[in-house]
Structure 1
Amino acid sequence: MARHLIDTTDLSIQEIQTLFAQAKKFLMRPASNSLQDKLIMTCFFENSTRTRMSFESASLRLGAKLVSLNAQTSSINKNETTLDTVLNLDAMMPDAIIVRHQTSGIAKELSTHINASLINAGDGTNAHPTQSLLDLFTLLQAFDSKDLSGKTIAIAGDIAHSRVANSNMELLSRFGANIILVAPQYFMPKQNKFDKSNSFEPIINDLDVIISLRAQLERHKDTFEQTNLTITKTLLGERDIKILHPG
Structure 2
Amino acid sequence: MPTVQINNHPIAYLEFGDPEADTIILLSGWAQDNRLFKNLSPLLAETFHVLVPDYRGHDANETVHGDFGTEELIDDIAAFIELKAPKNPMLVSTSHGCWVNIGLCERLGYERTILIDWLMQPHPGFIKQLEDGQDPERYKQGRDSFFNEWEATTDNVDVINHMKKEMAWFSGPMWMRACREILKAYTKYGSPLKRMEGLKKQPELIHIYSQPLSAEYRKFQEDYSAGHPWFRPVHIPGQTHFPTLENPTAVAKAIVEFRRG
More helix by proportion, 1 or 2?
2
TM-score for both structures, normalised by structure 2: 0.32
TM-score for both structures, normalised by structure 1: 0.33
